[in-house]
Structure 1
Amino acid sequence: MLSLPTWKCPPWTLNASLKRIRELQGAIMVASCVQMLVGFSGLIGFLMRYIGPLTIAPTISLVALPLFDSAGNNAGIHWGIAAMTIFLIVLFSQYLKNVAVPMPIYRGQKKCRVSKFYLFQVFPVLLALCISWLLCFVLTVTNTLPTAPTAYGHLARTDTKGDVLSRAPWFRFPYPGQWGLPTISLAGVFGIIAGVISSMVESVGDYYACARLVGAPPPPRHAVNRGIGIEGLGCLLAGAWGTGNGTTSYSENVGALGITRVSLLTRLPFWPTGEAGKGEQGVSLLTCLSQNSSGEFSEGTIETKI
């Protein structure tokens, strides 16, 4: 019905939307140049002495506060399904993370054997989403969820957007300036620069939080400078392509890293197995044991000169 000429948007609305997109493009591109200047010039590394936990924590909290509206609106489609998904994520990531699930694996000489895999620790979010979707699918097939578009819980059905893939084009190649020549306004530039400043402060906190979660040492200043500069370059490309948003490190992804522990690698100390005379140059083999997410240890040797 919405494809009928009666329900099509008038041409002036399309032109107004494109005008807003072009103005947003220009503001993002100018603000990204400021971010690249701050990053590649080393200014953010100099300012890190003034950016501490008391600065980062309120900034990240203020950035995340507007997301509660989106989370509430999306979860409000069906609070029962949303509550079950949250419950499953907490259950898998906090209470079942140390439960090993036997999984068949195949490895070279050992061929096929059964190994323990910490499934709930690695895929808590994915498992919760799959279970919730399967439940919605069953409720859709049995018509338990309402079919009326205006009824509460209708959007929880799995067939409401089933034709999205069929209506989407098979191939589409975005290119810079696809919405027209970007325009620049002073109000838009200053508004995006304010967001860029808070984004840089948040990114510094994300870098340190990510390093702490994966067991790596704190990032040095030159690494933080490069990270902020590359984020600015990503914003410049996003603005040129007209995506309508910038690129930055996302605190939610760091939180997901802490839940899944996918990138966590526990390393044990090195033990020298070779010997060399005192005051002489020799060769020593250092044995390294590493533990992966399934709890198995793998051994390797590194040859060093002493």
Structure 2
Amino acid sequence: MPYRPSALSVSLMLVTHYLTAFGGIISIPLILSEGLCLQHDSLTQSQLINNIFFVSGLCTILQVIFGVRLPILQGGTFALVTPAMALLSMPDWECPAWTKNASLVNTSSPVFIEVWQTRMRTLQGSIMVASILQVLVGFSGLIGFLMRFIGPLTIAPTVSLIGLSLYDSAGVKAGSHWGISAMTTVLIILFSQYLRRIPIPVPAYDKIKKLRVSKFFLFQIMPILLGIAVSWLVCYLLTIYDVLPSDPDEYGYLARTDVKGNVVSEASWFTFTYPGKWGLPTVSLAGVVGIIAGIICSMAESVGDYHACARLSGAPPPPKHAINRGIGVEGVGSLLAGAFGTGNGTTSFSENVAALGITRVGSRTVILLSGFVMILMGILGKIGAIFTTIPTPVIGGMFMIMFGVIGAAGISNLQSTDMNSSRNIFIFGFSMFSALVIPNWIMKNPTFLDTGVKEVDQVLQILLTTHMFVGGFLGFFLDNTIPGKYTAISCFMAMMKAQFLNYVPLTA
């Protein structure tokens, strides 16, 4: 008979997977809030957090039942954050100056609501249209054909630049109080790297050994959550004893825990998201093209996740039709995420794939229940509000770790490539450097792109200011045109399996 984990084991694994996804899920709406002009509207930020939890849970259930049918959790994707922020930073969508001043923002005024909802509707429509491509690629079986041309020298710069391109967001938040952000970073490093193998003894009970002492690897399972919790507590103590400044113009004010006012008390106990909550989505051609670039990157990562998940859960390698279903369902998930107003899409969570290697429990039941828990968290409005009260420098410290790990995870894709080859070194180095230089120059010289056709200018503006597109495109073009390429799809799949078997990223 197949092994069925006990109710206690299921409960523990459910909590493990939820906490593993926690950091990545809440980070996305907090980043997008700046581009949406919501940095001073904590209540709406909390609704975005609830939305992404709800949709992540719904898509997880769809993936496990109808998609690849492996114990793989779905959540927001950083691959869509970069093109989304590129769209929202265009001159036509730049936030009005008054929205950046907390004293001038009236979050209930129709003018302010229209400012951010207009941007959200454009982002929603762009994600929904771009997601249709992923649905078609998945259910038509084209993903196998595309993967023959997308190798490590394309994936490595693309994924690395997702993390590296977010350095400004991390720096701004961490810079609001470097002491608090440094403490958060040090705590997460301490828990995730130095204490990860130290178990915590906890009482346990089973029918055979009765009452016994079990080992619980607390620091390995939730280092990010522990780091945030301790730093949050320190900020609270510094706030109630007035160690931190109370003047909004003074350095360190954003480290206070009372900055967000009464957002928790104002938030509803229950909140329900639905398609069109922010109005009828609109479509931007430039936004669609930029989001498609992110979706292609997301699809390539997901294929590797499927193989790693099957290996870690003791299942046979997923057949082509299962991979096709998985990619197709992820496209449906991104379509739903756009419709429900998360400002993001969905993808498989590599962190939770790695968690299978820690727990050694590859149960679809656990992931299904994790999906239901995320739906519940998305309905409880107070939960989203609590997350928005995390002090800004604490979030900055978390970003320093998370974005650094994403950047390193991208480079780890090169482990199956011969980096003694001058060809491969050139392709990777040139792609990475160009992806840092070109977007930076275009952002400083936005009027340089002037073809006479506004729509074309917008498309070029978004593509050339999206670091991962520039790096990924150059890597793709050079790898497929310079003689000497030997990485076929089988080699790429082997590399992706090895990556997730040998590399265990930070969990929450």
Per the alignment, residue 195 of structure 2 pairs with 96
1:234 to 330, 333, 339: 333
CA contact (8 A) 1:42 1:225 kept: yes
- % identical equivalent positions: 62
Correspondence for 1:134 among 233, 256, 272: 233
Residue aligning to 1:45: 144
Structure 2 residue identity aligned to 1:247: T
What is the correspondence of 1:213-292 to structure 2 with a 5 Å cutoff?
Answer: 219-250=318-349, 254-255=350-351, 258=354, 262-264=358-360
Cα distance in 2 between the residues matched to 1:119 and 1:16:
43
Letter in 2 for 1:91: L
**What does the per-residue CA deviation read over 1:264-295, in whole Å, with 9 as the maximum and x for residues that have no partner?**
459xxxxxxxxxxxxxxxxxxxxxxxxxxxxx
Q: Which has the higher contact order (CA 8 A, sep 6+)?
A: 2
Cα pair distance change 1:18/1:83, threshold 3 Å: closer
Are residues 212 and 162 of structure 1, via their aligned partners in 2, closer, same or farther at CA, if it must alter by over 3 Å?
Answer: farther
The more displaced of 9-18 and 109-118 is 9-18
Aligned pair count reads 260
Kindly state the Cα deviation for residue 52 of structure 1 after the two structures are TM-superposed.
2.4
Secondary structure of 2:176's aligned partner: coil
The one-letter code matched in structure 2 to 1:176 is P
Residues 20 and 83 from structure 1, CA distance in 2 versus in 1: closer, same or farther, beyond 3 angstroms? closer
TM-score (norm 1): 0.71
**Alignment CA distance shift 1:46-1:75 (3 Å):** same
Matched, 1:26 2:125: yes
Query: What is the RMSD computed on CA atoms of the aligned residues?
Result: 3.2
From 55, 58, 72, the equivalent of 2:154 is: 55
2:175 alignment partner in structure 1: 76
Query: SS of the counterpart of 2:148?
Result: coil
Shift of 1:153: 1.6
Structure 1 unpaired stretches of 5+: 267-306
Structure-2 separation of matches of 1:195 and 1:150: 37
**Structure 2 match to 1:274:** none
- Give TM-score scaled by structure 2 length: 0.45
Alignment partner, residue 275 of structure 1: none
Equivalent in the alignment of 1:178 = 277
The structure where strand makes up a greater share of residues is 1
Partner secondary structure for residue 47 of structure 1: helix
Instruction: Give 1 or 2: higher helix fraction.
Output: 2
What are the Cα deviations for residues 20-72 of structure 1, in whole angstroms up to 9, with x where unaligned? 33333222221111110001111112222222222221111122222222222
Task: Decide whether the 8 Å contact of 2:126 with 2:291 is kept in 1.
Answer: yes
Match of 2:220 among 121, 127, 142: 121
Q: Which residue of 2 aligns with 1:158?
A: 257
Q: Which runs of 5+ in 2 are unaligned?
A: 1-40, 42-103, 363-508
Instruction: Give the Cα–Cα distance (whole angstroms) in 2 for the partners of residues 234 and 79 of structure 1.
Output: 38
- Secondary structure, in 3 states, of the residue corresponding to 2:202? strand
**For residues 179 and 211 of structure 1, what CA distance do their matches in structure 2 show?**
38
State the 1:15 CA deviation. Answer: 3.6
Structure-2 separation of matches of 1:59 and 1:217? 29
- Paired letter, 1:151: E
TM-fit CA distance, 1:90:
2.1
Question: Which of these two proteins has the greater Rg computed from alpha carbons?
Answer: 1
Change (3 A) 1:139 1:18: closer
Change (3 A) 1:30 1:145: same
